[in-house]
Amino acid sequence: MISIKDLTKVFKTKDQDVLAVDKLNLSIDKGEIYGVIGYSGAGKSTFIRLLNRLEEPTSGEIELNDQNLTGLSKSKLRVARQEIGMIFQHFNLLWSRTVFDNIAFPLEIAGVPKQKRESRVNELIDLVGLSGRGKSYPSQLSGGQKQRVGIARALANNPKVLLCDEATSALDPETTDSILDLLVDINEKLGLTIVLITHEMHVIRKICHRVAVMESGKVVESGDVLDVFLHPKEKVTKRFVDQVMGDPDRENSLDVINENYRAGEVIQLHFVGENTNQALISDVSRRFAVNVNILHGKITQTQKGAYGTMLVQIDGEETEVKQAIAYMKTTSVEVEVSPDV
């Protein structure tokens, strides 16, 4: 669907050249929700603007449905862009136009006849949950409603790809969840490919199938969301995972735990999918002469299933503790002794 090869963007200034995107390579499948996450300055906003050539790449290629977008003339690019919708952090609505007229705007530019235009706009208003608000102006809408208008407008020309540039960053948590639910609904109903950039792991966790982690213009880690949650390799990825799993000070927490629970072995357990319901702790306590003390735990949901982590202290005779840990490792629960930070 989307193939990105050695994509590079250098911004030239009077003082220096700034490498915003550095030989980035990605492949995004048709119909998936692909997340790109990174902190400020990682290059993610530049990356998504390169995808529809709002920014011109310095080098590299972007292919959409086997068409090389980087090689298109301006006239052909205008046609190709009709297959790419985009929504923005601050909505970018036309404040002098009603909801109906905002959504109709790209159809007007494309020369769609009035009757077809009206039919399409009404269809989109219903799709995004704004029935009855067609005559309202942006100033009369909440932040979530404004973003729904932005989504409807982006879908006006029946695009194959929807680009989301920090689409929920200006919204409160409850409204963010409602917009994310809408994006999932659109993805499933229309088979739309969605590329979403964010600095919030909650967004990735809730709706994305796969994720790429960006740092200093590069993709430093990528894969299925559940796999990345389970096995974050890079320090920046671990920080993002800790956003969701509730321990942003993981390193300090582990130091405190190791200092205060020296009498027993401290281990970290990873539960996936149905394993989150597994009664492992009580099972171990019955089988072995050990005491199991739960220090910390949390379960969260991803598109691919539930994921949970738990820190426990196992205390008892050394032989019994070793046997208990060995038994845990034979189950489908992943066991990490003296977990790395």
Which two structure tokens, joined as six digits, stand for 151?
């989504």
What residue spans in the chain does CATH classification 3.30.70.260 cover?
247-337
Taking alpha carbons only, the member of 282, 239, 157, 212 closest to residue 32 is 212
What DSSP string describes 112-155? --HHHHHHHHHHHHHHTT-TT-TT--GGGS-HHHHHHHHHHHHT
The strands making up 33-37's β-sheet, listed across from edge to edge, are 84-88, 161-165, 193-198, 33-37, 210-215, 218-224
- Residue 276: the pLDDT is 56
- Residue 265: the pLDDT is 83
- Residue 341: the pLDDT is 37
CA distances from 185 to 28, 43, 63, 321 (A): 19, 28, 26, 48
- Residue 257: the pLDDT is 58
Which helix (H) or strand (E) is 316 found in, with range? Answer: strand 305-316
Cα dihedral value 309, 313, 317, 323, nearest 10: 0
Which helix (H) or strand (E) is 334 found in, with range? Answer: strand 334-337
Residue 299 CA to residue 264 CA, distance in Å, equals 24
**pLDDT tens track of the chain, all 341 residues?**
899 999 999 998 888 899 999 999 999 999 999 999 999 999 999 999 999 899 999 999 999 888 899 888 888 888 888 899 999 888 899 999 999 999 999 999 889 999 999 999 999 999 999 999 999 999 999 999 999 999 999 999 999 999 999 999 889 999 999 999 999 999 999 999 999 999 998 899 899 999 999 999 999 999 999 888 878 889 999 888 887 766 555 555 555 555 655 567 888 888 776 655 567 888 898 999 999 888 877 777 777 777 778 888 898 898 999 999 999 888 878 888 754 43
- Residue 213: the pLDDT is 96
Which two structure tokens, joined as six digits, stand for 80?
């190709």
What DSSP string describes 175-200? HHHHHHHHHHHHHHHH--EEEEEES-
Tell the CATH superfamily of the 247-337 domain. ACT domain (3.30.70.260)
Determine the angle formed by the axes of helices 114-127 and 99-109, rounding to 10 degrees. Answer: 130
- Residue 232: the pLDDT is 87
Determine the angle formed by the axes of helices 173-190 and 143-154, rounding to 10 degrees. Answer: 20
Is 21 in a helix, a strand, or coil? strand
What residue spans in the chain does CATH classification 3.40.50.300 cover?
2-244
Helix, strand, coil percent content, the chain, rounded in steps of 5:
40, 30, 30
Query: 9 with 168: CB under 8 angstroms?
Result: no
Residue 4 CA to residue 57 CA, distance in Å, equals 11
- Residue 340: the pLDDT is 46
- Residue 253: the pLDDT is 55
Residue 69 CA to residue 4 CA, distance in Å, equals 10
- Residue 242: the pLDDT is 80
* DSSP tally for the chain: helices H, then strands E: 12, 14
**What 8-state DSSP symbol labels residue 338?**
S
Tell the CATH superfamily of the 2-244 domain. P-loop containing nucleotide triphosphate hydrolases (3.40.50.300)
Query: 253 with 296: CB under 8 angstroms?
Result: yes
